[in-house]
Amino acid sequence: MNRGILVVGAGPVGLSLAVGLRRYGVKVRVVEKALAPSGQSRALFLWTRTLELLDANNVGAALLAAGRKIEAVNVLAGRKRIGRIELSEIDSTHPYALMLPQAETERILTEQFVRLGGQVEFGVELTNFINAPDCVTATLRHADGSEESFEADYMVGCDGGSSFVRKQLGLSSTGPAQQSDWLLADVRLEGFASLPSELTSFWHEDGFLGIFPLPSGHYRVIADLHAVQGERPAHPDIAQVQALVDQRGPGGISVSDPVWLSAFRIHERNAAGYRAGRVFLAGDAAHLHNPVGAQGLNMGIHDAVNLAWKLAMVEQGAANAETLLESYTAERHAVAETLVTNLDRAASVAMLKNPTVQIARNLLGNVFFGLKPTRKAAAESVSEVSHSYPSSPLNGQDWAGVPGPAPGERLPPRPDEPPMGAGDTPRFALFAARSPAALALQHEFPRLLEPQLRPRISPGTIWLGRPDGYVATVALEENVQQIEDYLRAYVADSSSLAVM
Ligand SMILES: Cc1cc2nc3c(=O)[nH]c(=O)nc-3n(C[C@H](O)[C@H](O)[C@H](O)COP(=O)(O)OP(=O)(O)OC[C@H]3O[C@@H](n4cnc5c(N)ncnc54)[C@H](O)[C@@H]3O)c2cc1C
């Protein structure tokens, strides 16, 4: 140990991981084959859960200063409103999404990494690696053609959709990759009325159409195309954008002044696993989604946050390495699998062709979005706060049997408390009344528990929260032993009970 972590790829996922590791004092090297940041603004939105998770990395204020809050998503069929999702209904310190071009997210994360003493090595490509039982040996090619061999304790492939690391590991997709073609245009729109804080998506039998306001006053138009077998979609022109908006939108919108037009093919997939020995996959390297829900970048950042505290604990010898590291695939793979299914389901509802079924869908949609609980559930799903790890091997039991988040579920952050996992050491949080038993736990596990107790969640209970803000286990106060048993299961050896 102590050779540190090699992160391959400085996209948003590699950068989020690097910031998390570095903040926890882990030695980390980030290599990026491109010579400079791409500057491309592919992903536009950071959803609620992503903002909550990034708060622990001390980038929340910079993100908020650079972005624009999005408060609602409207769902229409032509001119008819089917529903409206209010993000303000989410119980969160960030009850909104943030519109922030991907290049800006990357800039802010890079600046934070540099502030923490890190450096992104541009023009350095991973060309080979050996995944041995005791270390990873990577071959790195520099822009001048020279090569070096580098040893790391672990390596994480954050190297995007056509991941070299995934291919080398042989971790191809679990199912057939779904292929779909998409058009994306940043344009000016006349005749389209929407608030700058709202997104609009249109359901149409021919496909999806999304219209999102950009800070520049332009709009991003996104639509799926009918895939042409074997050929990549041709570069679009403004007439094609106009035709799609006419066909799938409310009518009367005129499109002009394109600043970016692009058409691309996506192969939706979920890798067979996210770990082989000492090598991990994260972000697009592990899973690729269609852009309907604008979830890809967000999912990747959640991977990075999930992995950062586990790798840090293992590097610092404070925890049971195998259990922690194995839980990464179990948790994140299941979330990606569910997302693929949900996005496919949403796409098939949006694109229903039978007119009678369309009428029924629109009526049901009105009922669905008219009910506060279902509307809230939709908001929690799109904003990723409902993502959870119900089958995680890290879940202890819910011994208390009282209302509240169960093991594997998100603990909503509370405004007057620091974000969970914040600071320079990954620690579990104890939500408990100040009692001799709770203080004894803190005394026994100084390297695993935050030094301060957090106010309890409900009377007579103790909640143990993970450094990424999910519930580890819950017990009644009189059964504090169950919390101790849980923590003991994650301690590597008795020497790690001592303060570092
Ligand atoms: C048009 C478009 C619109 C999108 N819109 C949204 C959206 O609204 N919301 C959303 O959440 N997501 C969206 N996405 C998805 C989002 O852009 C991706 O999910 C996100 O970029 C994934 O980040 P990543 O860090 O995993 O991979 P990438 O951003 O692809 O970064 C991978 C990096 O690894 C580097 N690399 C590759 N191989 C090597 C190697 N061998 N050695 C060293 N470096 C290497 C690459 O140069 C690259 O910089 C969109 C995607 C597209 C294409």
pLDDT single digits (tens) 314-341: 998 877 888 899 999 999 999 999 887 7
Q: What is the mean pLDDT of residues 43-56?
A: 95
**Residue 383 CB–ligand 1 contact under 6 Å:** no
Residue 292 has pLDDT above 50, yes or no: yes
pLDDT at residue number 129: 98
> Of the residues 15, 16, 29, 42, which should be mutated to test ligand 1's pocket, given the most ligand atoms within 8 Å of the CB?
42
Kindly give the distance from the C-alpha atom of residue 206 to the centroid of ligand 1, in angstroms, as a whole number: 28
Q: What is the mean pLDDT of residues 354-363?
A: 62
Mean pLDDT is lowest, of 185-199, 246-260, 324-338, 374-388, for 374-388
**Residue 10 CB–ligand 1 contact under 6 Å:** yes
Phi-psi region of 277 (alpha: psi -120 to 50; beta: other; left: phi over 0): left
pLDDT at residue number 364: 60
Q: What is the mean pLDDT of residues 5-13?
A: 98
Q: What is the mean pLDDT of residues 250-276?
A: 92
**Residue 180 CB–ligand 1 contact under 6 Å:** no
**Residue 7 CB–ligand 1 contact under 6 Å:** no
Q: What is the mean pLDDT of residues 475-494?
A: 83
Token readout for 286 is 């592990």
pLDDT at residue number 377: 80
> Of the residues 159, 262, 287, which should be mutated to test ligand 1's pocket, given the most ligand atoms within 8 Å of the CB?
159
Q: Which of the pair, 497 or 153, is modelled with greater confidence?
A: 153
pLDDT at residue number 463: 96
pLDDT at residue number 458: 93
pLDDT at residue number 367: 58
Q: What's the pLDDT band for 455 if we cut at 50, 70, 90?
A: very high
Q: What's the pLDDT band for 497 if we cut at 50, 70, 90?
A: very low
pLDDT at residue number 378: 79
**Residue 184 CB–ligand 1 contact under 6 Å:** yes
Nearest residue (by CA) to ligand 1, atom 9, is 294
Q: What's the pLDDT band for 203 if we cut at 50, 70, 90?
A: confident
Kindly give the distance from the C-alpha atom of residue 161 to the centroid of ligand 1, in angstroms, as a whole number: 7
Nearest residue (by CA) to ligand 1, atom 42, is 125
For residue 140, which atom of ligand 1 is closest to its CA?
42
For residue 9, which atom of ligand 1 is closest to its CA?
34
pLDDT at residue number 366: 61
Kindly give the distance from the C-alpha atom of residue 149 to the centroid of ligand 1, in angstroms, as a whole number: 26
Nearest residue (by CA) to ligand 1, atom 51, is 42
**Residue 284 CB–ligand 1 contact under 6 Å:** yes
Kindly give the distance from the C-alpha atom of residue 428 to the centroid of ligand 1, in angstroms, as a whole number: 31
> Of the residues 17, 295, 297, 343, which should be mutated to test ligand 1's pocket, given the most ligand atoms within 8 Å of the CB?
297
Nearest residue (by CA) to ligand 1, atom 49, is 11
**Residue 121 CB–ligand 1 contact under 6 Å:** no
Kindly give the distance from the C-alpha atom of residue 40 to the centroid of ligand 1, in angstroms, as a whole number: 10
Q: What's the pLDDT band for 379 if we cut at 50, 70, 90?
A: confident
Residue 172 has pLDDT above 70, yes or no: yes
Kindly give the distance from the C-alpha atom of residue 425 to the centroid of ligand 1, in angstroms, as a whole number: 28
Q: What is the mean pLDDT of residues 61-82?
A: 92
Q: What's the pLDDT band for 363 if we cut at 50, 70, 90?
A: low
What rounded mean pLDDT belongs to the chain?
90
pLDDT single digits (tens) 226-254: 766 677 888 999 999 999 999 999 999 99
Kindly give the distance from the C-alpha atom of residue 468 to the centroid of ligand 1, in angstroms, as a whole number: 23
Kindly give the distance from the C-alpha atom of residue 289 to the centroid of ligand 1, in angstroms, as a whole number: 11
Residue 23 has pLDDT above 90, yes or no: yes
pLDDT at residue number 492: 52
**Residue 8 CB–ligand 1 contact under 6 Å:** yes
pLDDT at residue number 499: 42
Nearest residue (by CA) to ligand 1, atom 27, is 160
**Residue 125 CB–ligand 1 contact under 6 Å:** yes
Token readout for 47 is 């959803």
**Residue 43 CB–ligand 1 contact under 6 Å:** yes
Nearest residue (by CA) to ligand 1, atom 30, is 160
Q: What is the mean pLDDT of residues 461-490?
A: 93
**Residue 264 CB–ligand 1 contact under 6 Å:** yes
**Residue 33 CB–ligand 1 contact under 6 Å:** yes
**Residue 283 CB–ligand 1 contact under 6 Å:** yes
Residue 352 has pLDDT above 90, yes or no: no
pLDDT at residue number 434: 94
Q: What's the pLDDT band for 193 if we cut at 50, 70, 90?
A: confident
pLDDT at residue number 265: 86
Residue 380 has pLDDT above 90, yes or no: no
